[in-house]
Amino acid sequence: MKMKFATRVACLLVVGHVLSSAGRTNADEGMWLFNDLPRDYLKRTYDFEATPQWAEHLMRASVRFNSGGSASFVSSRGLVLTNHHVGADTISKLSTSERNYYRDGFYAATLDEELAAPDLELNQLVSIEDVTDRVNQAVRADMPASEALAARRAAMAQIEAASLAETGLRSDVVTLYGGAKYHLYRYKKYTDVRLVWAPESDIAFFGGDADNFEYPRYCLDVCLFRVYEDGKPAQIADFLSIAPGPLVDEELVFVSGNPGRTRRIHTSAALKFQRDERMPHVLNLLRRREILFQQYGLEGDEKQRQAQDDLFGIQNSRKAYLGMLQGLQDPAVMAQKEAAEQTLLAKVAADASGGADAWKKIAEVQERRKPMLKQSGGFYSGLYSIAETLVLMAKEDQKPSADRLREYRDSNRESLLQQLFSPAPLYPDLEEAKLADSLSMFVEQRGGDDPLVQQVLAGKSPAARAAELMAGTKLAEIPQRKRLAEGGLAAIEQSEDPLVRLALLMENEQRRLREQEEELAEIERQAYARIADVLFAVQGTSTYPDATFTLRLAFGPVRGYEERGRQIAAWTTLGGAFERDEAAGSKSPWRLPDSWRENRDRLDLATQFNFVCTADIIGGNSGSPVVNRAGELVGVIFDGNIQSLSADFVYSETQSRAVSVHVAAMREALKKVYHAQRLVDELGQ
C-alpha cells in the first residue's frame, strides 16, 4: 500500500452519503480528526471511552514520513517503527553496488553503526487549531477565482509564518471538507534520522507483485529508524508500549496514521472524469514507466538495484489504480452515487442561495480539465527536478513570502533546502533513461511540429537530447546546486548548465498549467465548500473530512471475511510462511530468505504474523501503528486487500480489509532470526 506523497488528500462519503456519529450506515467508516473524534459512537458501539489523554498520547506517538507514509515512536530513545516499503526510499539511497541493504537487509549492532538518512524528515503532530475564519476573512464573495486563490494563499501563508515565528514548529494550514474548514497543524520536525534495522526484501515483500493487495499474506514489512537531536538519540515522552498477548477475533483496534487522499466528497461528474479520463491516462503512464524500469534493470544486477525502488513504487501504484478504476467501472457503484446525489439535489432545489449551482460548477471544471491531461510543463528526472526547483525558487524569491507558490514560502524553506541539497545518489544512466522517455512522451503528446517541442529537442531525437543534457549538467554536484541557489536570480539567468536552461525554457508553460489548475481547484474548492454547507445543514456536522495526508484515527474489529465462497481467517502465522514457501517450491517471489530457513527451528511458528481488521485506510496509512484499547501497539499497517482499493471513493466493511504486521512476529524475528536482542529490549521502553 505504498504511497510516496511527494509524487504520489476521510471526508464526507461521496455526495449525499455522508455519515454522522448519530446515524452511521456504514459501521466503522471514517478517517477521523484527532480534534473531533466520534466519542459517542465509540462509547455506544464498543463501550470504549476515547479520553483526551488517550487521544493526545496516541497523536504524539504517531509520526509522518515526508517521503510518504506513517510511523510511530516505539521507545523513549527515538526509535521509530514503519514499513520496509516506506523506508525503502532511504534504504535504497543508503545502498551501494557493494552493500545492497534493500535486498540483503541491515542491522546496526550499536548506535555508532546506525546510518544517517540523506534527506529524510519526520513530523510529529503537536497541536491542531481551527483557523477557518482567519482564512475566509481574506476572500470576498465577489472575487474572481484567480483573486480568491491569491487572497486565500496569502492568508494561509501569513498564518503559517506567524505560527512558525511564535512556536518554531513546522506549521501547515490544511484545507478540510473541500474548503469548508481550515485547520493549522503544528509539527515538531526531525531531520537527523538514522536507519537502525531492515529485513531482507524477500521477507518484507514476500509474494512480490503477485501478492500485492492480496490476502492471506506473510510479510515482515517493517523497519526501524531512530531520530536524533544534537547528535544524540532524541528523548521521546510519548511512545507506544508493546501489547503482551495475541489478538482475538472481533477485538477492537485503532489505526493512527496519515491517509493520503480520498475523494469521497466528489460529485458524480467528478467521479466520471476520474473513471473515463484521468485514471486511464495515469494507468497508461504507469505502464509506460514500469516497462522503462524493467528494461533498464535487465542491463545487469547494478542497473536492477538502481531501479528497484522506482519499479516497486510504479508497480504498486499501477495495481492500486487498477483496483480504484474497477470500482468506478462497476455500474452499481456509480448508480448508487448518482441516486444519492439526486436525493440531496432534490432537497436543495429550492435553495435561493445557489446551493444546487455548486454541482454545475464542478461539472464544468471537469470538462476544462480534460485537455490538460496531455499537457506537461516539466520532465521526469531527479536532476531535471533540481533544475526546476532552482529556477522557480530564484523567481519566487523576488516576491513577498505570502505571494509565493506554497513550497517556496519562508515557512517551508528549511524542508525545501534539505531536499534540494540531498546527498542521495543520482545515477547518470538511470537519469538519462528517465529523461529520454519523458522527452519522447512530450513529443507524442504535443506533436513533433509543436514550437515548444522543437525548442526543447534542439534538432535532436529525445534519446540524443537526453544524452546531451545529462552529459553537460553539473547539478549532480551539491556545491554547484548551492552556488546557484545562493546566487539567486542573476546566477540562474547567467547559468550555462543545460538542465537549468531547459527549466528556464519550460518555466512559462509550467506556470501556465499550474495557474490554470489552481484556478480550477479554487472554483472546485468554493463549490465543495457550498456542498459541505448543504450537507451540514441536512445531516449535521459530525462527519469526517477527506484525507489530506494529515493524522487521522480509524478503527474497527479484527475480523476475517468471505471471498469466493471461502472463509478467510483474520490472521496468519509464522508457520504459514514456511508452508507457503514449500507449496511454491521455494521459488521467487515466495522463497524465504536463508536467514529464516537457518533459524526455522528456533521460531515459535504459532506466532501471529499478518492480520486484518475493518479499519478505514488508504495509501499514506502505510506504517501506521495499530493499537488496542489500552493504546498498546499490536501491529503496523502495510497493505489493504484488493477489495479495499475502492476506498478512495467509498468504504465497505463487507470484504474491505486493512492488512497489518503483528508486532509479535517482528519481535520474534528480531530475536531469533536477526539476533538483535538490543532492539527487542528497547522496544516499548
pTM of the model: 0.91
Q: Which pLDDT tens digit goes with each residue over 204-221? A: 999 999 999 999 999 999
Q: Tell me: pLDDT of 48 over 50.
A: yes
**Model confidence over 461-504: pLDDT tens digits?**
999 999 999 999 999 999 999 999 999 999 999 999 999 999 99
**Amino acid, single-letter form, for residue 333:** V
Residue with cell 504498486: 316
Residue 200: the pLDDT is 98
% of the chain surpassing 70 pLDDT: 94
Q: What is the pLDDT of residue 7?
A: 33
The rounded mean pLDDT for the chain is: 92
Between CA 446 and CA 71 the distance in angstroms is: 42
Among 662, 336, 303, 345, CA closest to 534: 345
List C-alpha distances in Å: 184 to 125, 161, 344, 378: 11, 11, 31, 31
At 566 the three-state DSSP class reads strand
The pLDDT of 18-32, averaged and rounded, is 57
Average pLDDT value for residue range 513-523 = 94
| Span 604-661, pLDDT tens digits | 999 999 999 999 999 999 999 999 999 999 999 999 998 898 888 888 888 899 999 9
**Confidence (pLDDT) at 350:** 58
| Least confident interval from 194-208, 346-360, 593-607, 616-630 | 346-360
Is the model's pLDDT at 134 over the cut of 90? yes
pLDDT: is 91 or 327 the higher one?
Answer: 91
What does the pLDDT read at residue 14? 31
Distance of CA 535 to CAs 279, 529, 545, Å?
A: 28, 10, 12
Q: Is 69 left (phi over 0), alpha (psi -120 to 50) or beta?
A: left
| The predicted structure's pLDDT at residue 607 | 98
Q: Is the pLDDT of residue 99 over 60?
A: yes
Domains of the chain: 32-121+191-264+547-682 (2.40.10.120), 277-361 (no CATH)
DSSP 268-325: HHHHHHIIIIIHHHHHHHHHHHHHHHHHHHTT-HHHHHHHHHHHHHHHHHHHHHHHHH
Percent of the chain predicted with pLDDT > 90: 83
What is the pLDDT at residue 15? Answer: 32
26 pLDDT higher than 70: no
Predicted local distance difference test score (pLDDT) of residue 354 = 54
Residue 20 binned pLDDT confidence (cut-offs 50, 70, 90): very low
Q: Is the pLDDT of residue 21 over 60?
A: no
Mean pLDDT over 412-419 rounds to 95
Return the ∠ at Cα 322 (arms to 649 and 272), rounded to 5°.
Answer: 45
